[in-house]
Amino acid sequence: MDLATFLIQCLNALQYGLLLFLVASGLTLIFGIMGVINLAHGSFYMIGAYMAYALAPIVGSTFGGGFFATLAVGLVLSVVFGYLLEWVFYSYLYEREHLQQVLMTYGLILVFEEARSLLVGDDVHGVPVPPALSGAIALSDVQQYPVYRLFISGVCLLLALGMYLVFTRTRLGMTIRAGATNREMVQSLGIDISFLYRVVFAAGVAIAVLAGMIASPVSSVYPGMGQSVLIICFVVVVIGGIGSIRGALLAALLIGFVDTFGKVLLPQAAGVLVYVLMALILLWKPDGLFKAG
Amino acid sequence: MFDGIDRSKLFFVAAVFIALALYPSVGGKYGTDLVTKIMILAIFALSLELLVGGTGLVCFGHAAFFGIGAYIAVKLSPEADAASLFWLLPASVLAAALYALAVGSLSLRTKGVYFIMVTLAFAQMAYYVVHDTPLGGGTDGIYLNVKPSVFGPIDLDKPLVFYALTLFWLVAVFGLLAVLARSRFGRALAGIRVNEQRMRATGFSTYPYKLAAFTVSGGIAGLAGFLFAVKDGFVNPELLSWHQSGAVLIMIILGGIGHLRGALIGAFAYTLLQEFFKSEAIFGAFAKHWHLGLGLTIIVSVALLPKGLVGLPAVLKTRLSGSGTRRAEEGAANG
């Protein structure tokens, strides 16, 4: 492996890992703060990718905009969608047992997949890379790296930074952290915790939808894409330690690198490497790398 | 699971088994085949119920034991000859139990959601071994050429004979688990489920109990896998996939955790709902979208039946009498 190939694989690993982090961060937030095991989280990623495909012509004809206008419209829709979803389906799950939540969100996966099949169909689609980002950077005489992938990494990094600042530097972040520690106490101090949860949930949905939308030009859009990402995201959440954003970032990057380089160096065992990694880490640290607290 | 001997429950279970024994005389070829499949899934669900409902350990990799039982049955059978059921079945069960012993001894170090994910990891490892190495025959799976022999005129190729064998094992496993639940061992498991810390404080070393439960459960799942492989004469890696682990977990939650008959009801309800929504006679072209009906039914059942289908009679009773003390009665009926 020469230097340019190595560099390309590193950038790919970084991009994959950061994308995983985006989806997993919503999962770990909803899990760590509200205590809900949300199996339907992968579906939000799938919904995002399909939105990028299906909304583009509609947005194009009404606003005349391209990829970024679609992104903006999709984000607004997803926040509304997440807000309503929490209200109708999730708000009464908090006091239920975890396994009831598993059952309910499993039902939601089935409904989302079929709704997608009814509305858009079961075909595999491609989403074109926006023209402004379709260039490539030359790394050596023959090898080059697409700008769009760098754009994905950039967006993910910005969002990660934004999340960190909101959580550690703002009043909203403080109340959310307090709510995660003791729901009743925060409620008795006069904070509307159900509204807070609804906002966190909507944000988690929006981030997953955004991840799906920006990933769609490189990953293509296909049925079942939500479920494969869901399992990997659970792996990320658990390796990182439930509820820990920092842990999720580290775990996502770790998995990004192990998976990408595994596929290059040990193609026959690529699928299993991630799980071996998770088993080893959990046997060494049974609560994940960073326990939330 | 740990309800004392209760007349109505005993009556319900006995009625189910008698109905199952009589079913082939009314059900046609298709029906008998379907019910055989459901009974195998019910054995699989019962094995998981021992862990989830009995011990409070949620295993998300149970398909691995099921799949190993199935694969061992096929791999150990001679190419063109029948293997004897009397050693092939124990071999499958033993292999699954041994893998469960190994997985359990490591994964029981973790708790809660971490345990769920470690069991998933080990199941995925088994999946990839079967899927990607020459051992398992790849994505296409392998065929079982000759079904195992029993003795004399008993021929497992005949659907009715195989139905009887499956029903026998279903009753045996149900009986075993019911006895186990009322034994000292079962009481200890229940104690671990309710409060492991306190169990340790009273002098129980909880780890061996949990490991024993995990191993027994894996062995029973292997038995179900064995029956599944012999029924269809075919195995493929999907038997070990996490979808399979998820489906069996959904079955027992749907039926009602904490009751053996919940696993039984769940296996039937889940498979029959699938068949119902897939039926083109009822839904026509829409049957293609059967997931939608199944998903909505599951969501409604979570909303209305917090205790699963097992809790249905209690909910109906309070709805009909219209009292405001629903919660208390539900607790009393299921406690």
Residues B129-181: pLDDT tens digits?
Answer: 888 877 777 778 888 888 888 877 778 888 899 999 999 999 999 999 999 99
Q: In this predicted structure, what is the pLDDT of residue A269? A: 77
Count of C-beta atoms within a 10 Å radius of residue B87: 11
C-beta contacts of B105-113 below 8 A and 24+ residues apart:
B105/B211, B106/A279, B106/A283, B107/A279, B108/B57, B108/B207, B108/B210, B108/B211, B108/B214, B109/A283, B109/A286, B110/A282, B110/A283, B110/A286, B111/A286, B113/A31, B113/A37, B113/A98, B113/A238, B113/A242
Of A118, A238, A287, the CB nearest to B289: A118
Give the strand pairing for A144-146 and B142-143.
Answer: unpaired
> Hey, which residues 117-136 in chain A have their CB within 8 Å of chain B?
117-118
- Residues of B contacting chain A (CB within 8 angstroms): 52, 58, 106-107, 109-111, 113-114, 117-118, 120-122, 124-125, 128-129, 131-132, 242, 246, 249-250, 253-254, 257, 289, 291-292, 294-299, 301-303, 306
Q: In this predicted structure, what is the pLDDT of residue A285? A: 86
Of B111, B254, B296, the CB nearest to A103: B254
Contact A18, A233 (CB under 8 A): no
Q: Which of A232-246, B17-31, B42-56 has the highest mean pLDDT?
A: B42-56
Residues A91-118: pLDDT tens digits?
Answer: 888 888 888 888 888 899 989 999 998 9
Q: In this predicted structure, what is the pLDDT of residue A202? A: 94
Q: In this predicted structure, what is the pLDDT of residue A37? A: 84
CA-wise closest residue to A129 among A56, A222, A205, A207: A56
Of A106, A272, A282, the CB nearest to B118: A282
Mutation site for A-interface testing, chosen from B49, B52, B116, B128 by largest number of A Cβ within 10 Å: B128
Q: What is the mean pLDDT of chain B?
A: 88
Would you call B26 exposed, middle or buried from its count of C-beta atoms within 10 A (0-12, 13-18, 19+)? exposed
Residues B227-255: pLDDT tens digits?
Answer: 999 998 889 999 998 889 989 999 999 99
Question: Can you tell me the distance from the alpha carbon of B331 to that of B256, in angstroms, rounded to the nearest whole number?
Answer: 14
Residues A235-263: pLDDT tens digits?
Answer: 898 899 888 888 899 999 999 999 999 98
First to last CA, chain A: 42
Q: In this predicted structure, what is the pLDDT of residue B4? A: 52
pLDDT confidence bin for B323, thresholds 50/70/90: low
Mean pLDDT of B257-275: 93
Mean pLDDT of B36-62: 95
User: How large a percentage of chain B has pLDDT more than 70?
Assistant: 94
Residues B183-200: pLDDT tens digits?
Answer: 999 999 999 999 999 999
Q: In this predicted structure, what is the pLDDT of residue B328? A: 46
CA-wise closest residue to B36 among B268, B315, B293, B332: B268
Q: In this predicted structure, what is the pLDDT of residue B79? A: 78
Question: Can you tell me the distance from the alpha carbon of A4 to that of A131, in angstroms, rounded to the nearest whole number?
Answer: 25
- Global ipTM: 0.82
Q: Which domains does chain A have, with CATH numbers?
A: 3-284 (1.10.3470)
Q: In this predicted structure, what is the pLDDT of residue B5? A: 62
pLDDT confidence bin for B70, thresholds 50/70/90: very high
Q: Which CATH class is domain B7-264?
A: mainly alpha
pLDDT confidence bin for B1, thresholds 50/70/90: very low
Across the interface, whether the CB atoms of B114 and A288 are under 8 A apart is answered yes
Q: In this predicted structure, what is the pLDDT of residue A203? A: 92
CA-wise closest residue to A45 among A288, A234, A215: A215
Residues A24-67: pLDDT tens digits?
Answer: 998 888 888 888 888 899 999 999 999 999 888 888 888 777 78
Q: In this predicted structure, what is the pLDDT of residue B34? A: 94
Q: Which residue in B has a C-alpha nearest to residue A100's C-alpha?
A: B302
Q: In this predicted structure, what is the pLDDT of residue B94? A: 97
Of B113, B298, B301, the CB nearest to A238: B113
Q: In this predicted structure, what is the pLDDT of residue B177? A: 96
CA B291 to chain centroid: 21
Transcribe B97-112 into DSSP letters: HHHHHHHHHHHTTS-H
Q: In this predicted structure, what is the pLDDT of residue B333? A: 43
Mean pLDDT of A188-199: 88
**Residue B149 has what DSSP assignment?**
B
Q: Number of helices (H) and strands (E), helices first, in chain A?
A: 11, 2
* Residue A272: partners with Cβ closer than 8 Å, 6 or more residues away: B124, B125, B128, B129, B132
Q: Is the pLDDT of residue B80 over 80?
A: no
Q: What is the mean pLDDT of chain A?
A: 87
pLDDT confidence bin for B211, thresholds 50/70/90: very high
Across the interface, whether the CB atoms of B289 and A283 are under 8 A apart is answered no
pLDDT confidence bin for B322, thresholds 50/70/90: low
- Delimit the domains of chain B by residue range: 7-264
Mean pLDDT of B95-105: 95
Backbone angles phi, psi at B143, to 5 degrees: -100, 145
Q: A85 vs B306, which has greater pLDDT?
A: A85
- Is A188 near chain B, with CB under 8 Å? no
Across the interface, whether the CB atoms of B291 and A279 are under 8 A apart is answered no
Count of C-beta atoms within a 10 Å radius of residue B278: 16
